[in-house]
Each structure stands twice: as C-alpha cells, then as structure tokens.
Amino acid sequence: MTDEPRAPEAGTPDPGAGRDQRLASLLEVPALDEATRRRLVRTAAERAASPAVSTSRSMGRLGAAVGVAAALLVGAVVGAVVVTRPSDPETPSAARASSTEPTTAAAEAAAPAPQSADDEVSAQDPSGAPPQELGDLGAVRGIGELRAAISAGFEQGAAAEQATADSLPCRQQQAGLLGFVVVSAIGEAQLDGLPVVVLVGPSPTGEDLVVALDPARGCEIVRRVTL
C-alpha cells in the first residue's frame, strides 16, 4: 500500500493533530454491561493464572467426561476379564456391575447407565472410549457463542448420534494432526453461517481446544481456539 506520509513539515502546526470531536463522539462505544465485563475479566484472569488448567465450567465437565470415559474403558476391560471368568467365586456379578457404574451426571452423559455388567461390556469399545457426542450445537455467531453451545452440549448430556454423511470424514480426522492428545467430544454447528464439525479435546500442553472443521472443504480448519 502506498500511504507515504503527507504530513506537515517539522515545526509546522499540524491542523489535523487534534482530536476530531465529531468523529470521537460518533465512534464512542457504550460501556460493557457488568455481567459481560465480569465474564471477560474473570476468563482472562483465570487463563493467565493457570494456562494449562481447565478454567471454564464446560471444561470442568469436559474433564469429568474424559475422566469418566477413561474409567469406563478401564471398567470395560476389567469387566471383560471378569465375564470371561464366570466361575470366579470371589466376584459377584452385582459387585462387578457397581464397580463400573457411572456416578456423575457427566458419566450419565457420556454413556447410558448399564443395566448389567454384561450389557456394559457389550456397549463399550475395548479399543478406546468414543468421544462424547455433543449433537447439533445449533447456529452460533462467534467463538463466544460456540463456547456457550459446547458448554450447553455437555450440560444436556448424551445426544443421539448426529453425524451426517458429509461430516464423517471430519469426525474421523486424526486427533494428533489437529493438535489434540485425544478428541473427547464431537458435535456439529453452524458457525457464522458455515456448517462445521466441532471437535473438543486436550492439547499436549494441557489446554482444552476447540477445532471447527469445514466438511465442505476437505475438513479445513475454520477456527482453532482454546475452550
């Protein structure tokens, strides 16, 4: 761009140096409302204080969901071992069931409560816990709304599988290529009018990430931000 200076010479009064009061009044922006200001400040302070620690309410739920998913995986493996040893007199089936029963709302969100130990074993993929399904997060504008929708998705619990054929390739992206240690939750949304697949999970540095992928453009990354 050619914006070479056309400023007055040194020592010459610059008629444009003062503030343009008319523009100043036109550009004025009303103060933030107290709740918004507090939220912005609190989030910034928390992120700065503990960048590697989950700070939002949704991340608390995410952490719980990931923890429970890991616990369920361990439980499933243990359960499978127990089921293959049905004659073990030291381990009653009721005890086996209770040992792997989810105990938090997040756990209920992550997977339906098993009716029996056998049911639970068959419901779990022994190769790894599947990401939590957040479902359709709806139409959101900006990252703030997306974060809120993800939070609501965790809150609402397990949704039915929402995958569309178009979104499947994005859902199957390798976590590592997107900067995740593991993808712990998946949903879909309309981000600023663009249909996206939303992946949530921890990064190697411990931050919780949100990555929005555009299924119509080869799963191109649309946004990649901390949760």
Partner 1 sequence: LADGRTELSDEQLAAVAAGGDGRAMELLLARHADRVHAVCRRIVTHPEDALDATQEALIAIARGVGRFDGRSRFTTWIYRVATNAALDELRRRKRRPVPGISKDAASDGGSSRQAGERAADPTEQVDARLDVDAALREIPDEFRAAVVLRDLADLDYAEIAEALDIPLGTVKSRVARGRAALRAALGNPEAVTGRPNGQP
Chain residues binding partner 1 by CB under 8 A are 1-8, 14, 16-17, 19-20, 23-24, 26-32, 36-38, 40-45, 47-49, 51, 141-145, 191-194, 222-223
Residue number, 108 or 145, with CB nearest to partner 1: 145
Residue number, 133 or 207, with CB nearest to partner 1: 207
Residue number, 30 or 86, with CB nearest to partner 1: 30
Minimum CB separation from partner 1 for residue 127, in Å?
35
B/e letters for 184-201, b = 16+ CB within 10 Å, e = fewer, are bbbbbbebbeebbbbbbb
Contact 226, 207 (CB under 8 A): yes
Residue number, 15 or 86, with CB nearest to partner 1: 15
CB-count exposure of residue 133 (10 Å: 0-12, 13-18, 19+):
buried
Which DSSP symbol is given to 100? T
Minimum CB separation from partner 1 for residue 219, in Å?
14
Minimum CB separation from partner 1 for residue 70, in Å?
29
Residue number, 1 or 177, with CB nearest to partner 1: 1
Minimum CB separation from partner 1 for residue 214, in Å?
8
From residue 63, alpha-carbon distances to 18, 51, 55, 104, 196 in Å are: 53, 15, 10, 12, 23
Closest by CA to 149, choosing from 227, 221, 223, 33, is 227
Residue number, 32 or 74, with CB nearest to partner 1: 32
Minimum CB separation from partner 1 for residue 166, in Å?
17
Q: How far is CA 87 from the centre of its chain?
A: 43
Read off the amino acid at residue 219: C
From residue 194, alpha-carbon distances to 140, 179, 200 in Å are: 9, 22, 18
Minimum CB separation from partner 1 for residue 206, in Å?
15
Which DSSP symbol is given to 109? H
